[in-house]
Amino acid sequence: MSLDARAFPRRETKAGAAPFAGALARIAPDGRFEGYAALFGRVDLGRDLILPGAFAHSLAERGAGGVRLLFQHDPAEPIGTWLGLHEDSLGLYVKGQLTLDVARAREVLALMRAGAIDGLSIGFRAVEGRTDPRTRVRRLSRIDLWEVSVVTFPMQPDARIAAVKRAGDTLAGAIRRGARRLRALPGRRPVLA
């Protein structure tokens, strides 16, 4: 059975609202999940703006296996592995698998099921970027990605888990619907290259 509109309830959104808010309705025990760890063209709470292509070199060099899946950016809290990471037109899209033999991963899954935690956040080193002296926004054009964490409060508020995979489901259609909703948000700022 595939995900349908009931898994992603329609709701009114404001400009800047999380693209996948309310998406964690039903969760299966296998621990797989997907979402956006970073969105292009959005200024985060640390005044960074990531440009399209910023992850390309790092992903080509490390691959998904070279990027750690942590809880709250704590290197002592690995909770799974990344099955896939890639850039698309919106940002850095991730597919992860919680390791349910690890107690903290089981706790994180329970929190995801309850809707208590759905943030994603990147741990990185800025390789290339420049700061606009007027706005103090740092535009990052190349990032060395080390880890992506499941977090309570992401630095980029729209970086969220889209859904947690249910056994036998496919998320492709649901993710496409979520991406369309994100593009349709009023006041969405265009990506500046």
Secondary structure (DSSP) of 37-94: EEETT-B-TTSEEEPTTTTHHHHHHH-GGGSEEEETTEEEEEEEEEEEEEE-SSEEEE
Catalytically active residues are 73, 121, 147
Top-confidence residue, 186 or 33: 33
Q: Quick one: average pLDDT of 80-106?
A: 96
* Host H or E run for residue 176: helix 172-183
CA distance 52 to 50: 7
Reported as a pLDDT band with limits 50, 70 and 90, residue 193 is very low
Q: Quick one: average pLDDT of 34-61?
A: 96
Over the stretch 20-38, which tens digit does the pLDDT of each residue have? Answer: 443 333 344 689 999 999 9
Over the stretch 120-174, which tens digit does the pLDDT of each residue have? Answer: 999 999 999 999 999 999 999 999 999 999 999 999 999 999 866 544 444 445 5
Domains of the chain: 20-182 (3.20.16)
User: How far does Cα 160 stand from its chain's mean position?
Assistant: 5
Hey, what's the torsion of the CAs at 33, 78, 51, 128, to 10 degrees? -170
* End-to-end CA gap in the chain: 40
pLDDT value at residue 190: 52
Residue 15: pLDDT over 90: no
pLDDT value at residue 184: 65
Residue 57: pLDDT over 80: yes
Whether 44 contacts 120, CB under 8 Å: no
Nearest-CA neighbor of 38 among 154, 159, 149?
159
